[in-house]
Each structure stands twice: as structure tokens, then as C-alpha cells.
Amino acid sequence: MGPSDAPCPKSLNRLTVSNWKNPMEKALVVENNPVLLKAVSALLEQEGLEVHTANNGLHALEILENFSPDLVFTDLVMPLIGGEQLCRIIRSMPKHSQVFLVILSAIILEEKEQILQEIDCDLCIAKGNLKEMRAHIREALKVFRDRTSNHSVKSGQPEKRIPPGLKPSPVTLELLSEKRHISEIVNNLSEGVLELSQQGKIVSVNKAAVSIFGIRKEAMIGGSFMTIPWGEHQSDMTSWLDNQLIGGGLQRLEIEETAPLRINGRILSASFIPLTEEGAIFAICIFRDITRQYLAEEHKRQLDEAVRLMKQMDAMSCMAGGFAHDFNNLLTVICGNLDILLHAEEHKKEIDDRKVLNHAQRAASVAVDLVKKISCFSTFGIISREDVQIGVVVKKATEEFFKKNGGSYDLIMSGDESYVHIDPLQIRTALFNVLQNAREASADREIVIRVDDEEFTAPAIIAGQYIPAGRYSRIDIEDKGKGIARENILKIFDPYYSTKQRGTVKGMGLGLTIVYATLRNHGGCVVVTSELGKGTTVSLFLPVFSATSLSGRFKETALARNFRVMLVEDDEQLREIGRIMLEYLGYSAVVVNNEDIAAQILKEGLAGRGERVAVVVIDLSGGDENEKMAICRALHEADPQVKIVAASASLIDPVMENCARFGCANTLPKPFSMDSLNHILATLMGS
């Protein structure tokens, strides 16, 4: 046993330093056991010291902001910030770095090696009975005063004072080993971890968090959570801290990859989790560094956008080139024939004027047809609409096509009595285009045309095409051709994409592009399914507005006048065009730019202080799932009976894939046409 491990001599019990009076001596005692805290502080006061006390390391750091002690007596095992971390922080603080540090702990024997190697203290005292502890504390004061008198500093390892007969506890050793094991795991996690007190003070930090924030551990611990620069999430953090941690709301906050934190050049997702333990509230904050993943995905998004734009430009270039080619040929024919007439007149030559003019007239007629095809790409290309039975339109177009072009077909109609609101001429042209493709693919084999009604109770994605919930008239045109390869399915809607030789038909390659544009402008869609060697089916979906007769539509229009619809859209131009559409369709419209105003209007309508809203159409593009659910929940809380239609430009948006999970009655893909909007609202009116 070395001299520093020797038991306390009896003479020390009589040692007094009361004759050493220095009013400037100050001590801070940090101990979570109230009995020991009172006993140690009382002894130091008897020795003439000014004493401040703290029951944990965090409390001690708060005191040290305005108090400069000469000595610090601290326990090791304490809640919030422990003694080991407290000692490191004190040594890192310039104004307290030379303070005389005394470890006063019950685990000196069990943690002796770690304390000697890792804690920069001046003296270690093992807790024993109060008599022995008084003697050791007086001896610690003597050591401190001797050093102060001699202006000497500590050299080597700290001295130890251990009561005689004290032995390590196996239970304590096991508990400390488990504690070190857990601490090591947390400290080596790849995620950054902060622990907060209920007041929002940082009480522990792991290595990953130190790396993420770029702040020394000793500088972070004891500091406020809100001193971290949270950027655009500053208000979110303040609200969470005030309401959920300090206020005891205990709701967790998630920062998702869609709107991440940006701190110290890193991109982070995070979870802020309030917890309770034996009545105390604290929080664990977990930070995940997603910089590489996010930048890679951002790069991919940029590449996808560039590819999409490039494809659009290619399609526009192809389309423009195709139109230019066809128009140049037609103008050549027209101008050539006119030149022949002028040349014959100038040179007094006899020609068949009528034949030449007929050539020019036919070319001009083809040019007119080509312009009509181009107009299909505009929503304003629908010139006249009628309420007609879909079966009548399909039967008439089919008979006319096969009478003119020949071939065999089988027309099967079971939903032919449904009424649709369409431009019959444009739908006829669309049917002709699909039938022409089917005829060429079938090589004189029979083509099957089916007409039926189909109702989607929830939005669906079929062969890559998004179909909102509602009732549709479905027209299937099925051929027995060689089929289309999977990699070419998406190409068939590209302008001027064709496997046929150019020049045989003006506007060739526009067929399915025109069909797609026509159905879209009518609030419908086109779905193509194909299997190599077996054939292709093109399905045309048109919204059904009335199942049996025209009177149903008149009833819907009358009902619409008492049907109030709210559009929530932050884009001013979209709000205005949406209002115009709704009013044109006969609905009572109200437009607002955010969900808070929408909820207020719903509350007023429910309370009878205003007109009640039946349907809310709200743009839910962007934001995370929790945010979208919170918006829908707030609207339903304002008026439980209101029906919500989610609008979004992204078809892979979770709310578009499963709107019912968010509390929405239906979806509306953007950009939307007047017909698609009308179909969605008519469907909801019917329900």
C-alpha cells in the first residue's frame, strides 16, 4: 500500500484549519445526495469558506456562470451531467481551469484506474462514514492551502484518500461495466445523439453529434438547445421545445428527407423524442447525416429533370420537324399548282385549269385537317360539346370506319346507355385513329371493340396511367397483332413516333398523341396494354356524368348551384382559373391561398355564421406525409362532413397513391382540365 492509499491517521481527526482565515476562499459542492450535500457544505462553512451547492452537473454549470470557486467537490454518479463530464468542462473553461478539483465518490475503488487516467482532478476521496470523510475533506483543504502558499501546481496523478477496510463492490462493478458498455455503444453510433433536460439544456453528446455540429463536446454540454443554428427550421424547434418538452406535450418531431436540416455544411434528417422516467421529462435527439444520399438523389432528380426536358425538346423538335415536313410538302403542291396556272397564263399555254385547281384544293384540305389535329393538343381545341350516349357514338364511328376501310370486327356493348359530355367529332377522330392502328396491326384479323362502364372507388394506376376515383365509360379496342415491346409502350404517345414509312399519310405518327390529348381534354385517359405475339388493347376512359338520360345532367347542374366548393391554392393564377372553372360549371366557388384560412371558413360555415362548404380541393404537393395528414385532419376538425379532394402534380405522391389514408375522398392530378374537375365534383355530388 503506497503512502497515498494509507488509511486516515487518527491525528487527522484533530486537524483543524480554522486558524486559516481567508475570506476569498470559495467552494462549490456538487452532490445529488441531500444528506451528504448538507454535511459537506456545513463542514466547509465551519472552515470559513463561502459555499455554493448544486444537486447535479447541469445545476453546477449554471452556478459557475456567475460564481468562481477556488475548490470544487463533486460526486461522479449524478443525473443529467455526471461528475466526470463536469470535471472535463471545468478544465476547458479558461476562468475555472486552475480550480482545485476534488472527486468525492462511492465508486473510487471500482473506477480507480479510469479516474486516474481520464479525469484531471487534484484529489480523490472515497465516500465512507461522515467522521472519516470530515478528516479527508480537512486534509484536502490543507493540500489546497499548502499549494496556494507555495504557489505550486499538481504534478502526476491525483492523490487518493480511501477509508480503511473499504473494498470494491461486485454489484457496483457490474453496474458500472454495463453503464460503460451502453455509453460506448451510444458514443460510437453513426447517428448523432443529444440528450436534453426538460429546460432544453444539452446534457450529453456523442462523437457523431460533435462531428456533425463542429462544436467541442465541452462547449456543447450545459448549453441551450436553441443556440444551435436551425436555419429554416428555427420556428419548428422553438415550438417543439416550448410546447412538447418544456410544456410537457411529449409529441415527437420528425424532420424528414423532403425538408431536411442543413447544418455546418451537412444535410440531416432528425427525430426529436420527449421521454419520461420516474416523473422526470427529458428528450433524446437523433441526427442522421444523409448528405451523400440526399446529394445523390438531388443529382438524380436534376438528371431526371434534364432528361425529361431533353425528351420534351426532342418530342417538340420531332413534332415541329414532322409538321414542317408535311406543311412544306402541302405548300409545295399548292404553290406548284398555282405557279403552273400563272406560268400557263403568261406563256399563253393551254392546260386543264380545273385539274390543277383540284390538286391545290385537295392539298389545302389536307392542311386544314392537319391544323385540326394540332388543335387537339390545346384544352381550347374542344369547340362544341354535347350530352350523348357513348354507345351511339362508338357504334356510328365503328360502322363508318369499317364501311370505308373494310375488315371484320365484333362490337360488344354493355354500358352503351351511359351519357358523356363530349365533342362527338373529336371522339370520332380518336376512335378512327385507334381503329386504324388496330387494323394495320391485325392484318385482316377480327378486331374486338367493347363498351362498358367501370367505377373506381379509389384512384388507380393502370399501365402507368393515373385514373382518379369515379365512374367512367370504358372503350376497349383489341387487335390480334404482333404486340408492342415493353420498352416502346411509352414511346407510342410521342409526337410523330411511328414504325411506318413517312410520307404516305400527312400527320402520320400523330395518331395516339392526338388520342391522348383528346381524352385528356375530356377529363379521361388512355391506357395501352400489350403482349408480344398476342396483340394490343387500347382502352379509352371517358367520365360518365349521367347513367340513363339527359335529365340527370340538368339535375346535376341545378344541384351544383347549391353546392359550394373551396379551392385552396397558393398560386394566384391557378386560383383565378380554378374560380373561373368552378363558376362556369355552375358551382358556388370560394378560393383561398392557405389551409388556415380554409379551416376558419369551414368552422364559420359549420357554426352557421357563413355558407357551408361541401368540398375542399386542396393542393397537397410537397411537404412530408405527417404535414399532409395534419392539414387534412385540421380541415376535418373544422367540419367533419366536408369532403377533401387532394390535388398534386406528382402521381407517386403518397396522398395520390392512397388518398383514403389521408382522409381524402378523391384526387385530382395536376394539371387538370375543366372536364376532370367537373367529373370529380359530380362524383362527389352523387355520393
The x, y and z cell numbers of residue 598, run together, are 380554409
Residues 597, 599: Cα–Cα separation, whole Å: 5
Residues 508, 502: Cα–Cα separation, whole Å: 7
Domain boundary among 255, 289, 323: 289
Domain boundary among 543, 564, 592: 543
Determine the pLDDT at residue 5: 43
Please give the mean pLDDT across all residues of the chain: 79
Question: What's the domain count of the chain?
Answer: 5
Q: Which amino acid is at 347?
A: H
Residue 532 domain-assigned (yes or no): yes
Exposed (0-12), middle (13-18) or buried (19+): which is 355, by Cβ within 10 Å?
exposed
Strand-pair category, 588-592 with 564-568: parallel
Determine the pLDDT at residue 623: 76
- Let me know whether 12 and 158 are in one domain: yes
- As a whole-number percent, the residues of the chain with pLDDT over 70 amount to 78
CA dihedral sign of residues 78, 82, 84, 90 = negative
Determine the pLDDT at residue 307: 66
Residues 213, 194: Cα–Cα separation, whole Å: 11
Q: Cell 459557475 sits at which residue?
A: 64
Lowest mean pLDDT among 318-322, 416-420, 682-686: 318-322
Residue 564 domain-assigned (yes or no): yes
pLDDT, one tens digit per residue, over 500-537 is 544 444 434 456 777 887 888 888 888 888 888 889 99
Cα angle 513-519-521, degrees, rounded to a multiple of 5: 100
Residue 178 domain-assigned (yes or no): no
Question: What are the angstrom distances between the C-alpha of 122 and each of 3, 83, 282, 636?
Answer: 16, 14, 33, 65
Residue 455 domain-assigned (yes or no): yes
423 or 450, greater pLDDT: 450
Q: How far is Cα of residue 553 from the mean position of the Cα atoms in its chain?
A: 40
Residue 449's nearest CA partner among 396, 498, 405, 495 is 396
pLDDT > 70? residue 78: yes
pLDDT, one tens digit per residue, over 462-477 is 877 778 888 899 999 9
- Let me know whether 449 and 489 are in one domain: yes
Q: How far is Cα of residue 137 from the mean position of the Cα atoms in its chain?
A: 59
The x, y and z cell numbers of residue 110, run together, are 471500482
CA dihedral sign of residues 579, 584, 585, 588 = positive
Residue 302 domain-assigned (yes or no): no
Q: What average pLDDT score do residues 665-686 get? A: 83
pLDDT, one tens digit per residue, over 542-580 is 988 754 444 444 444 545 556 789 999 988 888 888 888
pLDDT > 80? residue 449: yes
Residue 591: band (very low, low, confident or very high) from pLDDT cuts 50, 70, 90: very high
Residue 54's nearest CA partner among 67, 43, 46 is 67
Residues 304, 652: Cα–Cα separation, whole Å: 15
What is the DSSP track for 632-667?
HHHHHHH-TT-EEEEEES-TTSHHHH-GGGGT-SEE
**Residue 525, domain CATH:** 3.30.565.10
Contact 285, 273 (CB under 8 A): yes
**Residue 585, domain CATH:** 3.40.50.2300
CA dihedral sign of residues 93, 98, 100, 105 = positive
Residue 271: band (very low, low, confident or very high) from pLDDT cuts 50, 70, 90: very high
Contact 52, 28 (CB under 8 A): yes
Determine the pLDDT at residue 33: 87
- Let me know whether 429 and 394 are in one domain: yes
- As a whole-number percent, the residues of the chain with pLDDT over 90 amount to 20
pLDDT > 90? residue 361: no
- Let me know whether 240 and 217 are in one domain: yes
Q: In which domain, by residue range, is 632 found?
A: 552-686
Residue 303 domain-assigned (yes or no): no
Residue 440 domain-assigned (yes or no): yes
- What is the DSSP secondary structure assignment for residue 156, as one 8-state letter? S
**Residue 224, domain CATH:** 3.30.450.20
Residues 238, 233: Cα–Cα separation, whole Å: 9
- Let me know whether 116 and 29 are in one domain: yes
The x, y and z cell numbers of residue 246, run together, are 418544456
Q: What average pLDDT score do residues 148-153 get? A: 69
- Let me know whether 230 and 254 are in one domain: yes
Inter-axis angle of helices 595-606 and 625-638, to 10 degrees?
Answer: 20
pLDDT, one tens digit per residue, over 393-423 is 999 999 999 999 888 999 998 866 788 888 8
Q: Cell 459537506 sits at which residue?
A: 40
Residue 649: band (very low, low, confident or very high) from pLDDT cuts 50, 70, 90: confident
Contact 635, 595 (CB under 8 A): yes
Q: Cell 409502350 sits at which residue?
A: 489
Cis upstream peptide for 164 (omega within 30°) = no
Query: What's the residue count for the chain?
Result: 687
Residue 497: band (very low, low, confident or very high) from pLDDT cuts 50, 70, 90: low
- Let me know whether 410 and 512 are in one domain: yes
Residues 6+ apart with CB under 8 A from 135: 8, 12, 13, 15
- Let me know whether 343 and 446 are in one domain: no
Determine the pLDDT at residue 507: 38
Residues 553, 544: Cα–Cα separation, whole Å: 10
Contact 437, 512 (CB under 8 A): yes
pLDDT > 50? residue 115: yes
- Let me know whether 476 and 617 are in one domain: no
Residues 6+ apart with CB under 8 A from 289: 190, 191, 192, 208, 212, 266, 267, 268
What is the DSSP track for 67-134?
---SEEEE-SS-SSS-HHHHHHHHHHSGGGTT-EEEEEETTTTTTHHHHHHH---SEEEE---HHHHH
Q: What average pLDDT score do residues 98-105 get? A: 86
- What is the DSSP secondary structure assignment for residue 7, as one 8-state letter? P
Residue 177 domain-assigned (yes or no): no
Domain boundary among 524, 543, 562: 543
Residues 452, 413: Cα–Cα separation, whole Å: 6
- Let me know whether 155 and 195 are in one domain: no
- Let me know whether 443 and 556 are in one domain: no
- Category of 623 on φ-ψ map: left (φ > 0), alpha (ψ -120 to 50) or beta: left
- Let me know whether 37 and 146 are in one domain: yes
